[in-house]
């Protein structure tokens, strides 16, 4: 039997908790759900594609048979038990750490504010799409400024979307174990899988003038003032400027 691969991709309101990535070889990725009236709806989904089959297995919401709530753990299992922790990050990955926006403050982040939390101990993180942003006060309206004024801001480079590639060794398998009533999903060696993890604006409920980064502050117990948000460096009407990944690197979990 040959090896297999699982490629996780993350997009939207998916905060990365990286404080234990280096020393403990552990990574947690959250999914933030937004469902209130007068807000931009984000409904987290996790879709598993097995090559060459086109139809995915989908986990979502809080009322379906495949619930996407609480904690889920990805383990690689062999005849010797659970594989040793071995997760690394490519140097090109640049997380947008919400705490680093405030150099003189320590924010208290509560991961329990996420609808779901995915835990990983194996794999390699790498960048899919880079991006450039300017950090602004949430009350600042970029649309009212000229392009020349925006260009004067301090830019930051970060990874708009990233992937985590996990190798399933020969004679092994991987299990995505969900706490609660949701059945586990088994990934087998010799097969290739793609897993999309997303919390993106829902069609028909999307306001391009709303900076979606503000929803990450729902996890902050001691909201700072002012509220700082990153804005994409392009014209406001050229696409979706504000739904992006973040990292909470100093947070202990």
| Ranges of each domain in the chain | 4-247
pLDDT at 19 over 80: yes
Band of residue 205 on the pLDDT scale cut at 50, 70, 90: low
In this prediction, residue 240 carries a pLDDT of 53
pLDDT single digits (tens) 33-46: 999 988 889 999 99
pTM for this predicted structure:
0.89
Q: Hey, what are 4's tokens?
A: 């297999």
pLDDT at 27 over 90: yes
Band of residue 208 on the pLDDT scale cut at 50, 70, 90: low
Task: Return the closest-CA partner of residue 80 out of 214, 170, 176, 204.
Answer: 170
């Amino acid at each position: 039997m040959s090896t297999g691969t699982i490629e996780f991709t993350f997009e939207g309101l998916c905060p990365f908790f990286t404080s234990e990535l280096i020393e403990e070889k552990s990574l947690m990725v959250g999914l933030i759900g937004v469902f209130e009236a007068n807000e931009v709806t984000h409904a987290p989904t996790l879709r598993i594609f097995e090559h060459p089959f086109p139809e995915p297995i989908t986990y979502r919401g809080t009322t379906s048979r495949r619930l996407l709530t609480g904690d889920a753990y990805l383990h690689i299992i062999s005849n010797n038990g659970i594989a040793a922790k071995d997760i690394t990050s490519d140097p090109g990955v640049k997380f947008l750490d919400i705490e680093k926006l405030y150099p003189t403050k320590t924010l208290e982040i509560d991961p329990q504010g996420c609808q779901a939390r995915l835990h990983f101990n194996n794999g390699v993180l790498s960048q899919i799409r880079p991006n450039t942003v300017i950090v602004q006060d949430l009350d600042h309206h970029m649309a009212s400024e000229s392009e020349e004024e925006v260009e004067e801001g301090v830019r930051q480079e970060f990874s708009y979307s990233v992937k985590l590639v996990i190798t399933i060794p020969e004679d092994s398998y991987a299990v995505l174990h969900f706490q609660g009533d949701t059945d586990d999903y088994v990934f087998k060696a010799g097969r290739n899988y793609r897993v999309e993890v997303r919390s993106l604006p829902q069609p028909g409920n999307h306001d391009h003038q709303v900076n979606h980064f503000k929803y990450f502050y729902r996890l902050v117990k001691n909201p700072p003032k002012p509220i700082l948000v990153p804005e994409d460096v392009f014209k406001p009407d050229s696409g979706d400027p504000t739904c992006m990944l973040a990292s909470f690197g100093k947070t202990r979990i």
